[in-house]
Structure 1
Amino acid sequence: MNQSAPPPYRRIAAVIRARVDAGELAPGDRVPSTRRITQEWGVAMATATKALVALRQEGVVRVVPGVGTVVAEPADRAGTPEAAPYMPAGAEPEGTPRGRRPREADGALTRERIVRAGIGVADAEGLRALSMRRVAAVFGVSSMALYRHVAGKDELVMLMADAAFAEVRTPDPAPADWRDRMEAGARLQWALYRRHPWLAPYLSISRPQPMGRAMALIEWTMARVEGVDPVTLLHMAVTLLNHVRATAAGFEDDLEAEQHTGMDRDQWMAAMEPAYERILRSGAYPMYAKMDGVEGDAVTLDSLFEFGLARLLDGMSMVVEGRSPGRIP
C-alpha cells in the first residue's frame, strides 16, 4: 500500500478543483452533489461530504441554500483572516501523527478566533451541530480551553450573530426615499441570512436578543419613514424583519436536509414527484392541479421573499401616506 497516496476525499477534491481551474466549472456553477460524487467515484457518503468540505475550506466552493454547492467567485477565495480553519467532525489536520491531536497554545486562542470557528461550524453543519466541544475540535483542544474566553454556548452563539451582522455594509449614499430604504435594508438582511443559514432561525421576535449591530441595521432601514407614531413605526420594522427572517429560516432547513438525505432540493423534489402525482389525481386539490405543466420552480424561497416584500411595502405605503390607521390596537 502506498502510504504517501492522498486519501480518497482529497483526490476527489483535487479533480473538482482542476475542473474549476480549467474553466469547466465557472463561478456560480453547481459542483457535483454528495450523491453524484458517491455514484461517480464509488465512495461512501461521508467521503463525498469530506471532499466538499475540503473545497469549502479552500474557498473553491460555497454553499447557497436552496441551490446547492457552487463555485465561489475568485474574490471569495482568499479565506477569512484570523479564523481557525473549519474541519469536519472527526477530521484531523494533515500531518497529524496517528493517535495524537494538535493542541492550540493557550495564547493563540482568542475570543475572536473562537467566534469565527463557531461561525464556520454553523455555516457548514447548521446550528444544531454547534457545541463547545465541536468548536474545540477545530483547534484540537479540550472544550475547557474555550471557557476561558467564552462563558458557554449561549454566549458564543450571541457573539457569532453579532459578528455576522458586523459584515453588513450599508450603501453610501443611502436611498433617500423611505420605501427604497426599507427595501434596501430587507435585501441586506436577506443576503446576510443566505451567507449564514443558521442566523435567521436563531433570531427571536418574541424574545429579541440585545445585539447592537442588528439593531443598528433596523435603525438604518427605518430612518426615512416619517409621519407615523413610534409604536406603529416599530410594528412596521418588526413586521419587515419577521418576513425576511421567517422566509430565510428555510435556508438552514435546506442545508440540514441535504446533509441528512444526501439529496439537494431538485433531487428531493424529483423523488417526491410520484407521491404528489398520486395526491393530485384524487381531484381534491384544484389549486395545486392548475400548476401542472408550469415550467421550473413556481415557488422558491427567493420568490416568496420578493413577493412578500413587495406586498408588505405596498401595504405600508398606505400607513405612511395616511390612508390607513396603521397599527391595530
Structure 2
Amino acid sequence: MTGVEPPYRRIAAEIRRRIDLGELRPGDPVPSARRLTREHGVAIATATKVLALLRDEGLVLTRPGAGTVVAPAHRPSGPGTSTAAPRPGTAGAPSGPRRGPDGGEPELSRDALIRRAVARADAGGLGAVSMRQLAAELGTATMSLYRHVRGRDDLILAMADAVLGDAPLPAVPPAGWRARLDLLARAQWAVYRRHPWLPHVISMARPQPLPNGMGHTEWALRATDGLGLDRHVRWHVTITLMAYVRGIATNLEPGEQAVQDTGLSDDQWVDRHRDTFQRMFSTGGLTRMAALTGPGQVDIDLETVFDFGLRRLLDGYAALIEGRDGEAGPGR
C-alpha cells in the first residue's frame, strides 16, 4: 500500500517531536528498544530501527553506561520552531525533581528515586537500572543518589521491598490455614506479574533485609499456628510455598522478552513451528506427546501451571497436616 507510514517512522517522528519541543533535552535518555516494544506494541526489530533512524539523523547517540541519549548539539528541525530552550513552567518543559530553594541541586527523596528505578525495571528489566541513567532522568548528579542508597545493589533491594509493599495482606486473615496460604501465594504471584524482574532479586537461600518481604513470611508462619507442626516443618512449609511461586515467576520475564524479540504471541509461535514439532513427534519416538497434542487444544500457560501446582502443593500440605502421608506430625 502507498501512503502508509511504516510504524518505525511514525514512532521515530513522535520521539523527534518530543526532542524538538524540549521534552527530551540533550543528555536525556530516550526510550529503550524494549520500552518501545511495550508502549507501541511492535517487535524488537521495529524498535531497533526507530533508534537506528534517530541515530542516523544525528538526534541521538549511544553513551557507554548511559544507553541512547539525546545528542548534545541538537536543535529543533521543523519550520517555525524556536531554538530557545523551553522556560521553566511552560508546557514544553521536562518534568523532574524541583530545584532546591537556592536554585541548585534538585530536591530528591529516597521514595522518588526508588519509584523511578522501579519504572525503569518494569520497562526494561534490571539491566535498565543504572545509577548514571537514573541521575540523568532525575536531573541530578550521580553522587547525590548515594545520599539515599549505598549503591545499585542496595537500590534494587529497596525496589523489591517497595513493590512487595504495594500488595499488602489483609489485616484480618481468612479462616483456615489453606485459605491463608492460598491468599499469600496469589498475592505474591500478582506482584511478580506486575514486576517480572522481581523473582530474579528474591533469594530463597539467603534471607534478605526486606521488611515487607519478611511480613509475608510472618503471615505464612502464622497460618500454621496451632496445627501441631514443629518449627522445622513450619519453616519448610513457608519457604517451599514461596519458592514455588518465585520459581514459576522466573519464567515471566523471559516469556515477555521472547514475545518482544519475535513479535509473536505464544500461540502464534506454536502455530508457526507446528510442522517442525509434528516431524519431531513422528521421527523421535515421542508417541505420548504426539497422542496428547492431537485434535483439541490443551489450555496450558503460566497461569494454569501456577494454579494447578499451587492447588496440588496445598493438597500435599493437607496430607501432611492431617497425617495421611506417613511422615506427618511433630518432629518429622
CA 1:295–1:150: 2 relative to 1, 3 Å: farther
Q: CA offsets per residue over residues 290-325 of structure 1, 9 Å max, x none?
A: 232354453211111111101111111122123342
Q: CA offsets per residue over residues 259-288 of structure 1, 9 Å max, x none?
A: 434444334333333332221121511222
Q: Distance in 1 between matches of 2:201 and 2:259?
A: 20
Q: Distance in 2 between matches of 1:237 and 1:291?
A: 35
Q: Distance in 2 between matches of 1:128 and 1:291?
A: 39
Does 2:310 match 1:309? yes
Work out which of the residue numbers 33, 49, 70 in structure 1 matches 2:41: 33
The alpha-carbon deviation at position 135 of structure 1 amounts to 2.3
**Residue aligning to 1:126:** 125
Contact 2:131 2:152 in 1 (8 A): yes
Q: Distance in 2 between matches of 1:31 and 1:134?
A: 20
CA 1:287–1:134: 2 relative to 1, 3 Å: farther
**Residue aligning to 1:195:** 194
Q: Distance in 1 between matches of 2:199 and 2:322?
A: 31
**Residue aligning to 1:229:** 230
Alignment map for 1:186-265 (pairs within 5 Å): 186-225=185-224, 226-265=227-266
Comparing 124-133 with 286-295, greater Cα deviation is found at 286-295
Contact 1:111 1:149 in 2 (8 A): yes
Q: Distance in 2 between matches of 1:207 and 1:47?
A: 42
CA 1:276–1:192: 2 relative to 1, 3 Å: same
The alpha-carbon deviation at position 326 of structure 1 amounts to 4.2
Q: Under a length normalisation based on structure 1, what TM-score does the superposition of the two structures give? A: 0.68
Q: Distance in 1 between matches of 2:277 and 2:243?
A: 30
Q: Partner of 2:229: helix, strand, or coil?
A: coil
**Residue aligning to 1:276:** 277
**Residue aligning to 1:181:** 180
Comparing 152-161 with 142-151, greater Cα deviation is found at 142-151
Q: CA offsets per residue over residues 214-233 of structure 1, 9 Å max, x none?
A: 11112213423221001110
Q: Under a length normalisation based on structure 2, what TM-score does the superposition of the two structures give? A: 0.68
Q: Distance in 2 between matches of 1:213 and 1:317?
A: 27
Alignment map for 1:1-329 (pairs within 5 Å): 8-9=10-11, 33-35=41-43, 44-46=46-48, 90=68, 105=99, 106-225=105-224, 226-293=227-294, 295-296=296-297, 298-324=299-325, 325-326=327-328
Q: Partner of 2:217: helix, strand, or coil?
A: helix
Contact 2:188 2:245 in 1 (8 A): yes
- Structure 2: stretches of 5+ with no match in the other structure: 1-8, 16-37, 52-65, 77-82, 86-92, 100-104
Contact 2:157 2:201 in 1 (8 A): no
The alpha-carbon deviation at position 168 of structure 1 amounts to 1.3
Contact 2:259 2:266 in 1 (8 A): yes
Instruction: Give the percent of matched residue pairs that are identical in Structure 1 and Structure 2.
Output: 35
Q: CA offsets per residue over residues 99-124 of structure 1, 9 Å max, x none?
A: 99978543422211111111011111
- Residue identity in the other structure for 2:124: E
Q: Partner of 1:90: helix, strand, or coil?
A: strand
- Residue identity in the other structure for 1:287: R
Which of 1 and 2 has greater Rg?
2
Q: CA offsets per residue over residues 178-206 of structure 1, 9 Å max, x none?
A: 11111111110111110111111211111
- Structure 1: stretches of 5+ with no match in the other structure: 1-6, 14-29, 39-43, 50-87
Q: CA offsets per residue over residues 28-85 of structure 1, 9 Å max, x none?
A: xx997314x98xxxxx434779xxxxxxxxxxxxxxxxxxxxxxxxxxxxxxxxxxxx
**Aligned-pair RMSD on alpha carbons?**
3.5
The alpha-carbon deviation at position 173 of structure 1 amounts to 3.5
CA 1:171–1:294: 2 relative to 1, 3 Å: farther
The alpha-carbon deviation at position 243 of structure 1 amounts to 0.7
Q: Partner of 2:203: helix, strand, or coil?
A: coil
Comparing 281-290 with 239-248, greater Cα deviation is found at 281-290
Q: CA offsets per residue over residues 137-196 of structure 1, 9 Å max, x none?
A: 322444333223222110000000010111112235321111111111111011111011
- Residue identity in the other structure for 1:279: M
- Residue identity in the other structure for 2:190: A
CA 1:90–1:212: 2 relative to 1, 3 Å: same
Q: Distance in 1 between matches of 2:287 and 2:299?
A: 16
Contact 2:184 2:220 in 1 (8 A): yes
